[in-house]
Amino acid sequence: MEPAGPTIRALLARRGLDLRLASDPADLPADALDREIRWVHSTDLLDPTPFLSEGLVLLTTGTQFADAASDDEYDAYVDRLRRRGVLGLGFGTEVVRDGIPAPLAQACRTHGIPLWEVPYKTPFIAVARANAEAVAAAAYARRTWALDAQRAIALAALSRRGTDAVIAELSRRLGVWVGVVDAGGRFLHEHPAGGLGADAAERVRVEAVGLTARRVAAGGSFTVGDTPVTLQTLGHGGGQGVLAVAMMLDEHERSVVTTAAAIAGAAGERRADLEHGREVLRAGLLAAIERDDGDLARDVADAAGIYLPSPPVAVAIAPHPTPRLLTALTQQPTLFVVLWTTEAIVLGPADGAAIALAAVDEPVGMSVAHSWEEYGDALARARIALTRGHTGLVRFEDTARLGMLAALGDEEARQLGARTLEPLADHDRAHGTELMATLTAWVSAECAHDAAARALGVHRHTVRTRIEQAQRLLGLDLSTVAGRALAWAALTASGRLES
């Protein structure tokens, strides 16, 4: 990058002015000759400070000093200039005095202000004009630099690397680290890679999350240690992410950064629109599969370049998926993921989906469809797997191995079982009978009257009479397999029998 503007060193080196530095550079602050001069002003007032602004160079002929002026008067004059922010003092010789007064030179040495001689043949206006030309040239150079940088960044956006090329070009033009951080605090692009210190990087993440959460175009700046950072949000509404630059920016640098941010934001919005379109298409493919048109879904997916596994497929479902889970799922290249109302439905190869899903710690139910026609049944089985109350991946095939009896252990089955047996419990309480105990013993004895009678210590005819009374109260035909099965299920679910 070009120097920010004209300096005392550059002014003294300007040919035709014949300015001579009277100060010893060793007596000056290290950057005293390289500070940017905003303007050159001439005055012979003893106290011109009310009419000055910071960053000026002052020219004087010394008429404000009497011939008998004391050293303290010179010192007070220079001290006023220093406190007002005057960068240097040019003394016109042979106008009032033949040379630079020694007390003035000593005062400038004391206060660290550069002092130089302006010869009689050099008008003050020539010095002011030379600086004005330098200011204009520097401004033109900065504008030219900014336009050239913006053009280069725009061309970089057309390359295959897209946003990554834009960030690399911006970093090269500014000569500092540049990065893009998403709304979750994740670095998407940075150049040079790892070029930001750990503390500054963590602060950038925190600030990016805060800025994007506000959903308004915004910016900010901060300094961590010796690292200054400027931030600018990306995209319409500022919610896409943040462009971070490891420097404080002047107006020209800011215009270049704004151009890069606009290009990166537009690219992000195009990606978001494209991804939304792909999400809609994936939902359409899933709808086609639900309508038993898996072959059409397969053909459309192939034409659109969307991965869709072929049967046999694992069908998984995650209710109310969190953004963290969705991110984990969509980053798996072997999974087809659709956000379907409030659920995430996932398809994957039957022999690999379980591995891809095994790391999740949120409830995910899964089953296998051996053809597209079995998709609906597999989805239903995946929902059943979710009802087992586990966290992480639950495969229906695993729960099915426990048998249908596992379903009798949940609260809903217990309530249904108790409701089915309620007429027996009410009759026993009201009449002091033992119908519930008899039915339990009878079912436990494989519905054999003699075995139940021995277990209860009663006659087998008593058991028969009680069972006949129980079936009337329950409304069940206990002479049939179906009736006995319902009685057994009710007793098991209510906890009266061991499954």
Q: Is the dihedral of CA 210, 216, 221, 227 positive or negative?
A: positive
Q: Tens of pLDDT along 25-82?
A: 999 999 999 999 989 999 999 999 999 988 899 999 999 998 888 999 999 999 999 9
Identity of the residue numbered 452: A
User: How far is residue 447's CA from residue 83's CA, in Å, rounded to a whole number?
Assistant: 109
**Better pLDDT: 498 or 343:** 343
pTM of the model: 0.52
State the pLDDT at residue 489. Answer: 84
Dump strand ranges (E) for 286-370.
313-319, 336-340, 343-349, 364-369
If you average pLDDT over every residue of the chain, what do you get? 86
Percent of the chain with pLDDT over 90: 34
Of the candidates 256, 252, 259, 251, the one whose C-alpha atom is nearest the C-alpha of residue 234 is 259
Express each pLDDT in 15-31 by its tens digit.
999 999 999 999 999 99
294 versus 78: the higher-pLDDT residue is 78
Interval 86-126: pLDDT, tens: 999 999 999 988 899 999 999 999 999 999 999 999 999 99
**CA–CA gap between residue 362 and residue 386 (Å, rounded):** 11
CB 318 within 8 A of CB 364: yes
The secondary structure element, H or E, covering residue 144 is: helix 124-157
The more confident residue out of 326 and 311 is 311
Does residue 468 have a pLDDT over 60?
yes
Above 90 in pLDDT, residue 335? no
pLDDT number for residue 45: 94
CA quadruple 80, 82, 84, 87: dihedral, nearest 10: 140
Say if CB 191 and CB 178 are below 8 A apart: yes
What pLDDT, in 10s, does the model give residues 434-452? 999 999 999 988 888 898 8
Asked whether the beta carbons of 247 and 176 are under 8 A apart, the reply is yes
**Alpha carbon separation from 142 to 137, 253, 254, 410 (Å, rounded):** 9, 9, 12, 75
Are 73 and 65 spatial neighbours (Cβ–Cβ below 8 Å)? yes
